[in-house]
């Protein structure tokens, strides 16, 4: 179990991590989600005692990381797969880590086998592909057979086969009762793996819920309408008190599950409809909407609420960030 | 995908929650070992022997010391000049001065290369006691540098004494200084480089600083013509690293300044101070 309490990290003027309080529980995969630069890696480095928090506290089963007597058997972490000396062989890289925690040499061969790198064990790691490097990082994390695993963006740069392998691995690790804490900036990836979700943006906690709850709360549905009698329909909907937003491609969009209502209104007023469809916003969109809120609050608070929620997902990520804080 | 868990309140966690209570917890079959310095030493030994830069720097070091030492010995042995006042051991000086650059480079790389590659984060995660990592690196590197220098310097010393006929037999004290003394001095210089590498965290920067520290005082002193700077010039010459190294061969460029085993104590003091600084910085800074 990893417990963060009011964890804060400031780099000069910038608050990289702002008062984070949440708990990562055993037996589940906890997805740690946020756009690039949200403070995920900084938070993970603080969990591992690499960076000192400006304020607040983070503990592993009640203890600070640097008080762990057998750190690799407690926490296995993949922070940056490239954080190896390229001139060292995979075997020696893992061996020096194993020795630092008194782990038997046989375990090095075991984990090399687990990640499928046995055939290149005696090759220098600088010749490794992105996927092989990632596998080596995972081998290092598994070395001590730890009860807590932390992966920072583990699927970055992996091919579909590698992504599938990591997903399966994480699920089996969690099923064994281990704590699995995995960061990502891809909601779609998290939706497939995580049981619990912690979302941060600009270093602040935005959500801490189960995956199912997040989907229920955040997946927005709306109705898309196309009609040649645009003005007439707008008038009718306005009279009925339905808020309409124009989407980029000339279609109209109405929030919520109102397809029946709109269809009946159109029929009653003899308006021709070319399209009337209920759309389910993707989780990716829900996530962007969530993180965009933090951003937008700082940027232009006067913007109409129901126009920005529609526009934001189509905008380039982080386009407003620099203006934001 | 769905979990039985209800949405979690964002309340502050209570540290009192016993590990794994109410939750399933994984227990590894691997026995738990309390880690100590011995583990860190084994790890650092694996690291230093498993990279090619160690072989390169030490290989070049041995070649330089042997090549220049034996070359100087051969030159003197074949020359017709009078060697009756020559200490044959002093012929090893140039080899060790230039070879020392290799030891400096290896010392710097031992710490700074981990920052360059990012390996340091892996290292510090595996061993969160940062001081222990620095101490283990220092011990392993110092022993490697000392043993290699001692063997090479002794070989050269024996060869030179055997080659140069007619020179006086060196005394026991001279033997000791030219083998054990220079080896400790060069290894300490390497250790200082390791510490500087840990402070600067940048290979090229730290190597430049160390080579500058070796060469600059002498070069600067050479250009101090002004009378008013005479004393500074003298001190720079006397305490420059090449001159201090030559003290071990009792052929110092100056008559005053450090003598006997003084250079070793000076190097020890400087290295200890730098080590303390590096240790404190390591604890304070983010990795």
**ipTM of this model?**
0.86
Contact A101/B33, CB-based, under 8 Å?
yes
Q: Is A282 on the interface with B (CB under 8 A)?
A: no
The whole-angstrom separation of Cα B166 and Cα B148 is 30
Q: Which residues of A touch B30 (CB under 8 A)?
A: 73, 103-104, 107, 144-145
User: What SS3 state is found at B270?
Assistant: helix
Question: For position B253, what pLDDT does the model report?
Answer: 61
pLDDT at position B251 is 66
Q: Calculate how close chain A gets to B59, using CA atoms only, in Å.
A: 17
Of B15, B39, B120, the CB nearest to A101: B39
CB of B154 within 8 Å of any CB in chain A? no
Are B35 and A70 within 8 A, CB to CB? yes
pLDDT at B252: 61
Residue A319's pLDDT band, with cuts at 50, 70 and 90, is very low
Cβ contact B128–A99 (<8 Å): no
- B111 lies in which domain range? 37-284
Residue A270's pLDDT is 92
Chain A: give the shortest CA distance to residue B96, in Å.
Answer: 28
| Residue B160 maps to a domain | yes
* A102 touching chain B per CB within 8 A: yes
Q: Considering CB atoms only, which of B24, B117, B286 is closest to A26?
A: B24
CA distances from A302 to A244, A245, B62 (A): 19, 17, 73
Which residue of A12, A55, A78, A100 is the best one to mutate when testing the B interface, meaning the one whose CB has the most B CBs within 10 A? A100
Q: What DSSP string runs through B130-197?
A: HHHHHHHHHHHHHHHHHHHHHHHHHHHHHHHHHHSTTSPPPPHHHHHIIIIIHHHHHHHHHHHHHHHH
pLDDT attached to residue B9: 41
Q: Give the mean pLDDT of A3-31.
A: 94
Which one of A6, A46, A102 makes the best mutation probe of the B interface by having the most chain B beta carbons within 10 Å?
Answer: A102
| pLDDT digits 0-9 by tens, A59-88 | 999 999 999 988 999 999 999 888 899 999
Question: Among all residues of chain A, which has the CA nearest to that of B23?
Answer: A26
- Residue found by looking up tokens 């190896």 in the block: A84
Q: In this predicted structure, what is the pLDDT of residue B183?
A: 97
Nearest CB to A5: which of B12, B26, B47? B12
Share of chain A above pLDDT 70, in %: 90
In a domain, B7, yes or no: no
**Residue scoring higher pLDDT (A298 or A177):** A177
- Asked whether the beta carbons of B88 and B73 are under 8 A apart, the reply is yes
B79 touches chain A (CB under 8 A): no
Considering its fold, how many domains does chain B have in total? 1
Give backbone dihedrals phi and psi of A221, rounded to 5 degrees, phi first.
Answer: -115, 150
Q: Given this model, what pLDDT does residue A291 score?
A: 79
Cβ pair A140, A76 in contact under 8 A: yes
Whether B24 is covered by a domain: the verdict is no
The whole-number pLDDT of residue A101 equals 95
pLDDT score at B254: 66
Query: CB distance from B50 to chain A under 8 Å?
Result: yes
In a domain, B263, yes or no: yes
A150-195: per-residue pLDDT in tens?
999 998 878 899 899 999 999 999 999 999 999 998 888 888 899 9
In this structure, what token pair is assigned to residue B89? 């051991």
DSSP E strands in chain B: the ranges are none
Instruction: Dump pLDDT digits (tens) for A205-229.
Output: 999 999 888 877 777 788 999 999 9
Q: Does B22 touch chain A (CB under 8 A)?
A: no
Output the six-digit token pair for B101. Answer: 């650059």
- Kindly state the DSSP code that residue B12 receives in the 8-state scheme: P
Q: Is B99 inside any structural domain?
A: yes
In DSSP terms, A124 is beta-bridged to: A89
Q: Look at residue A30 and tell me whether its pLDDT is greater than 70.
A: yes
Mean pLDDT of chain A: 86
Distances (CA, A) of B93 to A4, A251, B172, B221: 59, 86, 18, 21
B147 within a domain of the structure (yes/no): yes
Residues of chain A neighbouring B123 (CB-CB closer than 8 A): 100
The answer to whether residue B22 sits within a structural domain is no
Residue of A16, A12, A18, A14 lying closest to A4 (CA atoms) = A18
pLDDT of residue B82: 75
Would you place residue A21 in the very low, low, confident or very high pLDDT band (cuts 50, 70, 90)?
very high
CA distance A270 to chain B (A): 44
Interface of B with A in 102-141 (CB under 8 A): 113-114, 117-129
One digit per residue, the tens of pLDDT, for chain B of length 287 reads 444 444 444 444 444 444 444 556 788 887 888 899 999 999 999 999 999 999 999 999 999 999 999 999 999 888 877 777 788 898 899 999 999 999 999 999 999 999 999 999 999 999 999 999 999 999 999 999 999 999 999 999 999 999 888 888 888 888 999 999 999 999 999 999 999 999 999 999 999 999 999 999 988 988 888 888 888 888 898 899 999 999 998 766 667 778 889 999 999 999 999 999 999 999 999 98
CA atoms within 13 A on the CB side of B14: 5
B63: in domain: yes
Digit-coded pLDDT (tens) for A225-273 = 999 998 999 999 999 888 888 877 788 888 888 889 999 999 999 999 9
């Amino acid at each position: 179990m990893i417990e963060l309490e009011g964890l804060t990290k400031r780099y000069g003027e910038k608050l990289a991590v702002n008062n984070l309080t949440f708990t990562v529980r055993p037996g589940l995969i906890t997805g740690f989600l946020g756009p690039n630069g949200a403070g995920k890696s900084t938070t993970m480095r603080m969990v591992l005692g690499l960076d000192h928090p400006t304020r607040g506290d983070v503990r592993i089963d009640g203890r600070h990381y640097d008080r762990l007597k057998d750190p690799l058997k407690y926490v296995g972490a993949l922070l940056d797969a490239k954080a190896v000396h390229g001139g060292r062989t995979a075997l020696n890289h893992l061996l020096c880590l194993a020795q630092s925690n008194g782990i038997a040499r046989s375990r090095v061969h075991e984990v090399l086998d687990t990640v499928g790198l046995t055939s290149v064990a005696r090759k220098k790691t600088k010749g490794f592909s992105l996927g092989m490097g990632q596998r080596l990082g995972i081998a290092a994390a598994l070395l001590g057979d730890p009860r807590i695993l932390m992966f920072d963006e583990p699927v970055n740069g992996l091919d579909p086969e590698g992504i599938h392998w990591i997903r399966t691995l994480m699920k089996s690790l969690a099923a064994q009762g281990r704590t699995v804490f995995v960061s990502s900036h891809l909601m779609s990836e998290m939706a497939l793996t995580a049981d619990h979700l912690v979302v941060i943006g600009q270093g602040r906690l935005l959500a801490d819920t189960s995956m199912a709850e997040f989907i229920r709360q955040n997946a927005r549905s709306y109705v898309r309408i196309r009609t040649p009698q645009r003005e007439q329909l707008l008038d009718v909907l306005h009279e009925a008190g339905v808020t309409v937003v124009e989407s980029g491609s000339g279609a109209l969009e109405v929030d919520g599950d109102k397809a029946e209502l709109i269809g009946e209104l159109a029929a009653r007023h003899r308006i021709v409809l070319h399209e009337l469809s209920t759309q389910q916003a993707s989780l990716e969109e829900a996530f962007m909407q969530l993180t965009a809120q933090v951003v937008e609050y700082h940027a232009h608070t006067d913007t109409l609420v129901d126009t920005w929620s529609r526009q934001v997902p189509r905008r380039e990520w982080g386009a407003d960030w620099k203006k934001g804080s | 995908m769905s979990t039985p868990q209800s949405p979690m309140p964002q309340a502050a966690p209570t540290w009192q929650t016993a590990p794994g209570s109410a939750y399933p917890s994984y227990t590894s079959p691997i026995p738990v070992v309390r880690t100590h310095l011995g583990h860190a030493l084994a790890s650092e030994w694996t690291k230093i022997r498993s990279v090619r830069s160690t072989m390169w720097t030490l290989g070049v070091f041995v070649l330089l010391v042997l090549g220049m030492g034996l070359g100087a010995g051969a030159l003197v042995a074949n020359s017709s000049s009078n060697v009756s006042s020559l200490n044959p051991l002093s012929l090893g000086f140039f080899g060790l001065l230039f070879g020392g650059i290799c030891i400096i480079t290896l010392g710097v790389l031992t710490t700074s290369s981990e920052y360059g590659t990012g390996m340091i984060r892996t290292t510090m995660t595996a061993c969160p006691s940062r001081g222990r990592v620095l101490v283990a690196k220092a011990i392993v590197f110092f022993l490697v540098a000392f043993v290699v220098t001692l063997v090479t310097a002794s070989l050269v010393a024996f060869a030179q004494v055997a080659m140069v006929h007619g020179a006086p037999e060196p005394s026991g004290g001279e033997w000791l200084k030219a083998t054990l003394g220079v080896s400790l001095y060069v290894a300490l210089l390497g250790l200082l480089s390791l510490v500087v590498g840990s402070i600067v965290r940048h290979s090229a920067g730290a190597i430049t600083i160390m080579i500058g520290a070796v060469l600059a005082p002498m070069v600067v002193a050479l250009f101090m013509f002004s009378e008013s700077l005479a004393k500074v010039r003298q001190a720079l010459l006397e305490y420059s690293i090449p001159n201090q190294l030559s003290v071990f061969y009792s052929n110092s460029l100056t008559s005053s300044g450090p003598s006997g085993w003084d250079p070793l104590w000076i190097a020890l003091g400087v290295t200890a101070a730098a080590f303390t600084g590096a240790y404190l910085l390591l604890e304070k800074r983010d990795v």
